[in-house]
């Protein structure tokens, strides 16, 4: 029982980390029909900028909880700069091309950003571990957890609800949903699809950067952190159904729990637990858990 609780808690913490990043990925796919490999690079950039911002704030004497604001500002800043820049001046050149071509464009972007990050921040690690201690420790199921981990769960829930609410309960959100449903129909109904693309992409970037920014205190920020997150996020949104927000949430929880169960019960299987889940879902429900059918009609 205690083991089950531990698996549940570990799985949820991991899932919430994944969810924030995967949510951005699935949103961008839903609206722009792009599987953005460079999403991981923006996660990394979010982490780097957050590290720099927190350090900057600290140098102004704004420590403690101000660090959280610094991290949030970092994510917003990355999104506002990189989102329009990438969407307007790069991706837009390739709209209408094959999905695979767009995938490769983002792969090229990933390569470019990897080196760009290195040119800006060098290879030395950055640390901003102070915020990790902000919420103290919490005992749960006879284990100690860091309060920050629970704050991450809160962040994921807030992000999920905010995005869901913005899409389903606001006028502009409904416009975005209309574009997700049918780009052509929305355009013919007078929706400014270009604008929707840019907003959705920027929001997606924001979520990637936010994931990176709030992970920064838990890791040493250095080259190479973008690769692993992108593959796992892909798995999450494929399991959940490309373009589906509920799917990203369920996918993240499934991946988180599968991984936690593997680590506690069968550590030697951790490496491919995620891919096995992904393959199984694709075989039995190729469209993901929350997606309309896309397998051959006949």
Partner 1 sequence: MSSPPVPSIGLRRLAGRMLAAAAALTIGLAASSAQAQETFRVGIVTFLSGPAAESFGVPARHGAEFLIEQLNRGAAPAPYNQVGFGGMRIEPIIVDENGGATKQVQELRNLYQRENVDAVVGYISSGDCLAVAPVAEELKKFLILFDCGTPRIFEDASYRYVFRTSAHATQDNVALARYMRARNINAGTFSMINQDYAWGQDSRSDFVAAMQQLYPQATANADLLPKFGAGQYGTEISALARANSNVIYSSLWGGDLQAFILQGAPRGVFQRSQLVLSAADHVLQPLGERMPNGTIIGARGAYGLMSADTPLNRWFFDGYSQARGGVYPVQAAYRVTQALLGLKAAVEKAMAANGGKKPTPEQLADALRGLEWDSPGGLIQMKLGNGHQAIQTMAIGRTRWDAARRQVVIEDIQRFAAECVNPPANMRSQDWIKAGFPGAKCDTPGN
Partner 2 sequence: MSRTVLVLVAAGLMAALLLIGLALPRWLLFLVTLAASHGIVSVGILVIMRGGLVSFGQGLVFAIGGYAAALSFTQLGITDVIVLILIGTAAAALVGAAVGPLLARYTGIFFGMLTLALSMVAYGVLIKSPAVGGSDGFNIPRGTLFGVRLEGAGGDYALYALAILVTGIAATAVALHTRSARGLMTRAIHGNGLRVEYLGTSVQSVMAINFTIAAALGGLGGALTIVALGHIEPTFAFWTQSGEFVFVAILAGSHSVTAVFIASLALELVRSFSNLYFPNTWQMALGLFLLAIILFLPAGIGSLWAGRRKASPSSGGETP
- Positions in the binding site for partner 1 (CB under 8 A): 3, 6, 9-11, 13-14, 17, 114-115, 118, 123-125, 127, 129, 132-133, 137, 143-146, 149, 215, 217-220, 222-225, 227-229, 259-260, 263-264, 267-268, 270-271
Taking the complex as a whole, the smallest distance from the CB of residue 155 to partner 1 amounts, in Å, to 15
Closer Cβ to partner 1, 3 or 282, answer by number: 3
Taking the complex as a whole, the smallest distance from the CB of residue 160 to partner 1 amounts, in Å, to 19
Closer Cβ to partner 1, 2 or 188, answer by number: 2
Taking the complex as a whole, the smallest distance from the CB of residue 277 to partner 1 amounts, in Å, to 15
146 touches, from partner 1, partner 2, none (C-beta below 5 to 8 Å by class)? partner 1
224 touches, from partner 1, partner 2, none (C-beta below 5 to 8 Å by class)? partner 1
**CB-based contact 253:260 (threshold 8 Å):** no
What span, in angstroms and rounded, lies between the C-alpha atoms of 85 and 109? Answer: 12
Measured in degrees and rounded to the nearest 5, phi and psi for residue 295 equal: -70, 170
275 touches, from partner 2, partner 1, none (C-beta below 5 to 8 Å by class)? partner 2
Closer Cβ to partner 1, 32 or 262, answer by number: 262
Closest to 243 (Cα-Cα) out of 163, 297, 139 = 163
* Residue length of the chain: 298
Taking the complex as a whole, the smallest distance from the CB of residue 165 to partner 2 amounts, in Å, to 28
Q: What letter would DSSP give residue 123?
A: S
What span, in angstroms and rounded, lies between the C-alpha atoms of 140 and 6? Answer: 8
Q: Which two tokens stand for residue 223?
A: 């080259």
What span, in angstroms and rounded, lies between the C-alpha atoms of 144 and 146? Answer: 7
Residue 126: alpha-carbon gap to chain centroid: 21
Q: Which two tokens stand for residue 103?
A: 């995938």
295 touches, from partner 1, partner 2, none (C-beta below 5 to 8 Å by class)? partner 2
Taking the complex as a whole, the smallest distance from the CB of residue 176 to partner 2 amounts, in Å, to 21
121 touches, from partner 1, partner 2, none (C-beta below 5 to 8 Å by class)? none
Exposure of 94 by Cβ count < 10 A (0-12 exposed, 13-18 middle, 19+ buried)? middle
Q: List residues near partner 2 by CB under 8 A.
A: 35, 90, 93-94, 96-97, 99-101, 104-105, 107-112, 114-116, 118-119, 231, 234-235, 238, 242, 268, 271-272, 275-276, 278-279, 282-283, 286-287, 294-298
3-state secondary structure 161-180: HHHHHHHHHCHHHHHHHHHH
Taking the complex as a whole, the smallest distance from the CB of residue 276 to partner 1 amounts, in Å, to 14
Taking the complex as a whole, the smallest distance from the CB of residue 187 to partner 2 amounts, in Å, to 14
Closest to 271 (Cα-Cα) out of 231, 243, 298, 239 = 231
Q: Dmax over Cα atoms in the chain, in whole Å? A: 65
């Amino acid at each position: 029982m205690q083991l089950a609780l531990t698996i549940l808690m570990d799985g949820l913490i991991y899932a919430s980390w994944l969810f924030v990043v995967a949510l951005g990925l699935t949103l961008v796919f839903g609206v722009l029909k792009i599987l953005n490999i460079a999403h991981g690079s923006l996660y990394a950039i979010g982490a780097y900028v957050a590290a720099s911002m927190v350090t900057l704030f600290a140098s102004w004497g704004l420590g403690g909880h101000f660090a959280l604001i610094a991290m949030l500002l970092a994510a917003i800043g990355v999104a506002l700069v990189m989102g329009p820049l990438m969407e307007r001046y790069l991706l837009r050149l390739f709209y209408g091309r094959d999905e695979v071509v767009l995938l490769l464009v983002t792969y090229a972007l990933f390569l470019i950003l990897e080196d760009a990050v290195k040119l800006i921040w060098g290879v030395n690690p950055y640390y901003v571990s102070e915020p990790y201690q902000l919420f103290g420790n919490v005992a749960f199921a006879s284990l100690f957890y860091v309060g920050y981990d629970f704050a991450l769960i809160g962040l994921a829930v807030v992000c999920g609800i905010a995005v869901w609410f913005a899409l389903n309960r606001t006028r502009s959100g409904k416009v975005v949903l209309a574009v997700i449903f049918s780009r052509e129909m929305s355009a013919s109904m007078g929706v400014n699809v270009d604008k929707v693309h840019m907003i959705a992409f920027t929001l997606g970037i924001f979520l990637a950067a936010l994931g990176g920014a709030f992970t920064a205190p838990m890791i040493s920020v250095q080259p190479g952190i973008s690769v692993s997150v992108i593959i796992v996020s892909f798995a999450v949104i494929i399991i959940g159904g490309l373009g589906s927000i509920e799917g990203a949430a369920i996918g993240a929880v499934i991946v988180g729990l599968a991984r936690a169960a593997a680590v506690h019960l069968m550590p030697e299987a951790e490496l491919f637990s995620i891919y096995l889940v992904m393959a199984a879902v694709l075989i039995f429900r190729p469209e993901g858990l929350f997606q309309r059918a896309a397998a051959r009609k006949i």
